[in-house]
Structure formats: structure tokens, C-alpha cells
């Protein structure tokens, strides 16, 4: 991915300003979803669960934690609480339009986890595309030329409104909860599957590496992360195969962390996050990043289509399945 220079910003190095715009957008998203419980709750919502007791049973989560997460989703307008019965009063949680538009994110998590967490994936194993009847493997393409998106074909620049690169702010990481709960069964694969989605700093580090922020010093300066937290996260990312061991870069005279296939394939996930966050969470006055698909030269609008038929995937067309049908196509 090429980060084109931005000359307006006085303080930040030009090639970092565009990255900061994207990272701050991802960071706002992580403020809501940077926690494995939130991602698993969203999974259940998409699988059609609507009631408190059912969420609790599926997730094995305390009432308090579940209540907090549902409130967070409610506060951000992702779910709405609706009474479905009067006496006694009973409620269910339904997706709003904002919540339904997380479908690309949910589908891209599915693709990545199914590929890299394998049988340890906490998501349904099989999707079917109702409209064509085949197995659904969603893919992210350029809406203009319909080519699948590759990192090398994409560039980003800060929008014209960028006066000052945004600061990355947010709460601390929260990932101990799920790890502890699953201690007995934690495996390398499960770790991979949940770690990347549920940890604030790992998300930002990996998104940064995809954007070309690859050395330890650059990460400290762009992400504003403390060196001990950064060392710890990098060590885990290398251990689980999300990053390659750093190699010396003679041009920048720094050791650069490299992408692996596993982290390269996070691109669609981060693009879906960035798209949704730019639409729904952008603070007033913050410039949007300009993505470009260099393969066709157009402004990049990511779109999720099915490999089955090449048609755009709508949530209502997706059917979830835990195991293959015997008469599957
Ligand atoms: Zn294109
Ligand atoms: Zn299809």
C-alpha cells in the first residue's frame, strides 16, 4: 500500500499523516469492538439471537458483562431494545440500519477466521448464498472494476480537509477476559482467531504495518504506544505468525516488521472497518481518507461479492450453517 504525501500538516511527517487518518478511524471502531465479547456478541446478533437469556446462554458470559456490552451497542445505535410482550414486559434486541451495515465487517471476519483459525474458529463453518444457491465465500472487490483487492494495488492519501493529523486516543486493552475463560482450551489457533480482533493495540499495530509503518520507532511515534506494550504485542504477533521477524532495512536504517500471508489477508477486514467507521463514527470536521484502486485508477469503493456468482452479498441472502449439507452443491 502506498501512502501518498500530504503537505498540509505541519507537525507529522508527510507519509504518516494519511496513515494517522486511517488509524484514527480504526481506533474509533476499536473503542466499541476492541474486545472479544463485543465481537462474539455481534456474531450472535447476526446469527439471529435477540434475547438477553439466549445471548447469555450462548456466550457463557456474566449478566453484568453482557448488560454492559448491550448498553454499549445501544448507546452507539447498533442495537435497539424493543418490547415484544407486555405482561410481564419482555424485550429483544434488534439491529438498526447502522448495525446492519456492519455486515461487510462480519463477513470479512468470517473469511479471515475460517481461513486462519480453522476448526477453532468461533464462527459458523459454512455460509450459503441464497440468491444463487451455492456455498458462499465472500470476497472484497473494487466496486468499479470488480477485481479482488490486493494490498499492492491500493493507495491512500489524506483528504483535502486535513489540517491536523488526528490523535489516537482510546481506552486500554481488554483481552484477558476471554483468554482466562478459555484457558483450558486455548490453542495457538484460537489465540490467532480472537487475538487479532479483540485487542486494541494489536489491531492498530497490524493496521499500521499494512499501511507501511513497519519499524519499532515508527510505531512508537505514530501510534503513541508505550515501548513495553509495543514489545509485548510484537512478540505475540510474531509468535502466532501475524508478523514476520524484523529484517534490516538499509534505506531507513531500521529493522522492519514484515507482513505474512495471514496479516496481508487482514486488508479487507481493515477496509470494512475503515468504511463503516468513516460513515458512522467520524467526528465533525475530520477529513476522510482518499483510497484509490491503482489497478483501475478509480477512487476505491470496497464491495463484498460472492465468489460463487460474483454478485454483491446482502445480509438477507446469507444463510449460516454449522456443517455441510449432505446434498450440498
Ligand atoms: Zn478498481
Ligand atoms: Zn452467489
**pLDDT for 276-300, tens place per residue?**
999 999 888 777 888 999 999 999 9
Which pLDDT does position 2 carry in this prediction? Answer: 59
Q: Print the domain residue range for 89.
A: 46-96
Q: How far, in Å, is the centroid of ligand 2 from the Cα of 313?
A: 8
Residue at 329 is within a domain: no
- Residues 150, 259, single domain; the answer is yes
Could you tell me the CATH number of the domain that includes residue 51? Answer: 1.10.10.10
Residue at 286 is within a domain: yes
- Residues 59, 189, single domain; the answer is no
Which ligand is nearest to the Cα of residue 127, counting in written order? Answer: 2
Residue written as grid cell 471476519: 109
Which ligand is nearest to the Cα of residue 146, counting in written order? Answer: 1
- Residues 92, 114, single domain; the answer is no
Q: How far, in Å, is the centroid of ligand 2 from the Cα of 140?
A: 14
Which ligand is nearest to the Cα of residue 154, counting in written order? Answer: 1
Which ligand is nearest to the Cα of residue 298, counting in written order? Answer: 1
Angle among Cα 264, 139, 175 to the nearest 5 degrees reads 55
Which pLDDT does position 165 carry in this prediction? Answer: 58
- Residues 88, 136, single domain; the answer is no
Which pLDDT does position 35 carry in this prediction? Answer: 76
d(CA 121, CA 101): 23
- Residues 308, 274, single domain; the answer is yes
Average pLDDT, the chain: 83
Q: How far, in Å, is the centroid of ligand 1 from the Cα of 145?
A: 4
Q: How far, in Å, is the centroid of ligand 1 from the Cα of 266?
A: 19
Residue at 327 is within a domain: no
- Residues 264, 155, single domain; the answer is yes
Number of domains observed in the structure of the chain: 2
Parts of the chain with a pLDDT under 50: 5-12, 14, 171-191, 325-329
Residue at 57 is within a domain: yes
The answer to whether the beta carbons of residues 269 and 113 sit under 8 Å apart is: no
- Residues 301, 213, single domain; the answer is yes
Residue at 39 is within a domain: no
d(CA 68, CA 71): 5
The answer to whether the beta carbons of residues 285 and 161 sit under 8 Å apart is: yes
Which pLDDT does position 72 carry in this prediction? Answer: 94
Q: Which residues make up the environment of ion ligand 2, defined by Cβ < 5 Å? A: 129, 132, 306, 308-309
Structure confidence by residue, pLDDT tens digits, 210-264:
999 999 999 998 888 899 999 999 998 998 889 999 999 998 899 999 999 999 9
Residue at 7 is within a domain: yes
Which pLDDT does position 182 carry in this prediction? Answer: 41
- Residues 87, 149, single domain; the answer is no
Q: How far, in Å, is the centroid of ligand 1 from the Cα of 140?
A: 11
Q: What's 93's DSSP letter? A: E
- Residues 183, 312, single domain; the answer is yes
Amino acid at each position: 500500500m502506498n501512502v501518498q504525501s500530504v503537505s498540509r500538516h505541519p507537525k507529522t511527517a508527510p507519509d504518516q499523516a494519511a496513515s494517522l487518518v486511517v488509524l484514527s478511524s480504526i481506533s474509533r471502531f476499536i473503542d466499541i469492538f476492541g474486545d472479544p465479547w463485543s465481537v462474539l456478541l455481534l456474531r450472535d446478533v447476526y446469527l439471529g439471537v435477540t434475547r438477553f437469556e439466549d445471548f447469555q446462554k450462548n456466550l457463557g458470559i456474566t449478566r453484568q458483562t453482557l448488560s454492559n456490552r448491550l448498553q454499549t451497542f445501544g448507546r452507539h445505535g447498533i442495537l435497539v431494545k424493543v418490547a415484544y410482550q407486555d405482561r410481564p414486559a419482555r424485550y429483544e434486541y434488534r439491529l438498526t440500519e447502522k448495525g446492519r451495515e456492519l455486515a461487510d465487517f462480519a463477513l470479512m471476519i468470517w473469511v479471515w477466521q475460517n481461513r486462519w483459525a480453522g476448526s477453532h474458529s468461533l464462527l459458523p463453518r459454512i455460509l450459503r448464498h441464497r440468491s444463487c444457491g451455492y456455498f458462499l465465500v465472500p470476497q472484497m472487490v473494487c466496486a468499479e472494476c470488480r477485481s479482488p483487492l490486493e494490498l499492492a494495488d491500493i493507495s491512500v492519501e489524506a483528504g483535502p480537509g486535513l489540517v491536523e493529523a488526528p490523535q489516537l486516543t482510546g481506552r486500554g486493552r481488554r483481552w484477558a477476559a476471554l483468554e482466562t475463560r478459555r484457558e483450558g482450551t486455548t490453542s495457538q489457533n484460537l489465540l490467532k482467531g480472537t487475538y487479532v480482533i479483540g485487542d486494541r493495540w494489536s489491531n492498530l499495530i497490524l493496521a499500521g504495518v499494512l499501511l507501511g509503518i513497519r519499524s519499532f520507532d515508527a510505531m512508537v511515534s505514530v501510534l503513541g504506544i508505550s515501548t513495553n506494550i509495543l514489545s509485548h504485542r510484537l512478540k505475540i504477533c510474531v509468535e502466532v505468525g501475524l508478523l514476520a521477524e524484523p529484517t534490516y532495512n538499509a534505506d531507513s536504517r531500521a529493522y522492519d516488521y514484515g507482513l505474512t500471508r495471514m496479516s496481508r489477508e487482514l486488508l479487507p477486514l481493515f477496509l470494512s472497518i475503515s468504511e463503516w467507521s468513516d460513515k458512522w463514527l467520524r467526528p465533525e470536521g475530520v477529513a476522510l481518507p482518499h483510497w484509490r484502486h491503482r489497478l483501475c485508477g478509480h477512487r476505491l469503493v470496497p464491495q463484498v461479492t460472492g465468489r460463487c456468482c460474483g454478485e454483491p452479498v446482502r445480509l438477507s441472502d446469507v444463510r449460516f450453517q454449522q456443517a455441510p449439507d449432505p446434498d450440498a452443491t
